[in-house]
Amino acid sequence: MVKIRLSRKGVKKKPFYQIIVTDSRNSRDGRFIEKLGYFDPLNLNKKLQFDKNRIEFWLSKGATLSKRVHNLIK
């Protein structure tokens, strides 16, 4: 099953997340198929950016959103 979820980057106590498409069996920070955007909880100016067309493309192919990503993009 293909999922659209967050992958954690950054350093200790300064998180930075990438919105990625991956197989649900892969680890959180493991292999991925495509990067779709990012979420930066510490930056007030550019907090969230993503490619809406690519998300719609992957959803049409049967991918599912994680709860966190669903709440971020709605």
Mind listing the pLDDT tens digit for each residue in 30-65? 999 999 999 999 988 889 999 999 999 999 999 999
Q: Is the Cα torsion angle 45, 36, 21, 31 positive or negative in sign?
A: negative
Sole residue written with tokens 């966190």: 68
> Six-digit token pair at 33?
């198929």
User: Could you report the per-residue pLDDT of 22-35, keeping only the tens digit for each?
Assistant: 999 999 889 999 99
**Quick check: helix, strand or coil at residue 47?**
coil
Model-level pTM? Answer: 0.89
Q: Where are the alpha helices (DSSP H) in the chain?
A: 52-60, 67-73
Domain count, the chain: 1
CATH code at 54? 3.30.1320.10
Which pLDDT score, from 0 to 100, does residue 43 have? Answer: 87
Domain of residue 18 covers 2-73
Q: Virtual CA dihedral for 67, 68, 71, 74, nearest 10 degrees? A: -90
Which pLDDT score, from 0 to 100, does residue 32 have? Answer: 94
